[in-house]
Copies of this chain bind each other. A is one copy, B any other.
Amino acid sequence: MKKLAVAVAGLGMIGRETVRLLRKRRAELRERLGAELTLVAVADRQVGREARALSLPGRVVRYADPVAMARSADADLFVELLGGFDAPRRFALEALGRGRSVVTANKRLLAYAWPQLARAARASGASLAFEGSVAGGIPVLRALELSFSGDRVLSLDGILNGTTNYILTRCEEGLTAAAALREAQEKGFAEKDSALDLSGRDAAQKLSVLAGLVTGGWLKPDSFPVAGIESVESRDVAYARQRLGKAVRLVARLRFAGSAAAPLVEAGVSATLVPLDHPLAAARRQYNALLVRTASAGDLMFYGQGAGAGPTASAVLADLFVTARDLLGGLPAPRPGPRPLQLAPPGSAVSGFYLRLEVIDLPGALARIAGALGREGVSIASIHQDLAAGARAVPVMITTHPAPRGRFELARRRILGLAAVSKRHCAMRILG
Across the interface, which residues of B come within 8 angstroms of A27, CB to CB? 260
**Cβ-defined contact, A317 with B150, below 8 A:** yes
**Cβ-defined contact, B294 with A149, below 8 A:** no
A270 to chain B, nearest CB (A): 22
Check if A115 is an interface residue, CB within 8 A of chain B. no
From 325 to 358 in chain A, residues with beta carbon under 8 angstroms from any chain B beta carbon are 325-326, 328-332, 334
The residue from B152, B287, B301, B321 contacting A150, defined by CB atoms under 8 A apart:
B321
> Which of the candidate stretches A85-93, A130-138, A176-184 sits at the interface with the other chain?
A130-138
**Cβ-defined contact, A297 with B137, below 8 A:** yes
**Cβ-defined contact, A139 with B150, below 8 A:** no
Across the interface, which residues of B come within 8 angstroms of A29, CB to CB? 149-150
A142 to chain B, nearest CB (A): 5
Centre residue among A22, A139, A308, A310 by max chain B CB count within 10 A: A139
Check if A68 is an interface residue, CB within 8 A of chain B. no
**Cβ-defined contact, A318 with B148, below 8 A:** yes
Across the interface, which residues of B come within 8 angstroms of A218, CB to CB? none
From 88 to 146 in chain A, residues with beta carbon under 8 angstroms from any chain B beta carbon are 131, 136-139, 142-143, 146
The residue of chain B having its C-beta at the shortest distance from the C-beta of A145 within the complex is B32
The residue of chain B having its C-beta at the shortest distance from the C-beta of A280 within the complex is B282
A320 to B151, CA, bound (A): 12
**Cβ-defined contact, B303 with A297, below 8 A:** no
If A143-B142, A150-B318, A310-B296 touch, does A304 touch B303 (CB 8 Å cutoff)? no
The residue from B22, B298, B305 contacting A297, defined by CB atoms under 8 A apart:
B305
If A282-B281, A296-B311, A297-B137 touch, does A150 touch B305 (CB 8 Å cutoff)? no
A93 to B19, CA, bound (A): 42
**Cβ-defined contact, B302 with A314, below 8 A:** no
A287 to B277, CA, bound (A): 13
The residue from B28, B148, B299 contacting A149, defined by CB atoms under 8 A apart:
B28
**Cβ-defined contact, B22 with A315, below 8 A:** no
**Cβ-defined contact, A300 with B297, below 8 A:** no
Across the interface, which residues of B come within 8 angstroms of A310, CB to CB? 295-298
**Cβ-defined contact, A304 with B315, below 8 A:** no
If A149-B317, A150-B25, A284-B277 touch, does A298 touch B308 (CB 8 Å cutoff)? yes
The residue from B25, B33, B142, B331 contacting A142, defined by CB atoms under 8 A apart:
B142
Centre residue among A17, A142, A302 by max chain B CB count within 10 A: A302
Across the interface, which residues of B come within 8 angstroms of A28, CB to CB? 149, 260
Across the interface, which residues of B come within 8 angstroms of A22, CB to CB? 150
Check if A264 is an interface residue, CB within 8 A of chain B. no
**Cβ-defined contact, B322 with A296, below 8 A:** no
The residue of chain B having its C-beta at the shortest distance from the C-beta of A317 within the complex is B150
**Cβ-defined contact, A150 with B320, below 8 A:** yes
Check if A147 is an interface residue, CB within 8 A of chain B. yes
Check if A34 is an interface residue, CB within 8 A of chain B. yes
The residue of chain B having its C-beta at the shortest distance from the C-beta of A318 within the complex is B147
A284 to chain B, nearest CB (A): 7
A139 to B314, CA, bound (A): 18
From 244 to 293 in chain A, residues with beta carbon under 8 angstroms from any chain B beta carbon are 260, 277, 279, 281-284, 287
Check if A366 is an interface residue, CB within 8 A of chain B. no
Q: A32-B149, A297-B311 given; name 18 further pairs at CB < 8 Å.
A: A29-B149, A34-B332, A139-B143, A139-B148, A142-B143, A146-B322, A151-B318, A277-B282, A279-B283, A281-B282, A295-B310, A296-B310, A296-B317, A297-B310, A297-B314, A298-B311, A300-B304, A325-B329
Pick 22 A–B contacts, CB within 8 A, sort by A: A21-B150, A25-B149, A25-B151, A28-B260, A136-B297, A137-B294, A139-B146, A147-B314, A149-B318, A150-B313, A150-B318, A151-B318, A296-B310, A297-B311, A297-B314, A298-B304, A298-B311, A299-B304, A299-B305, A302-B303, A328-B331, A329-B330
Interchain residue pairs A-B with the least CB separation, the first 5: A329-B329, A150-B317, A137-B297, A139-B147, A282-B282
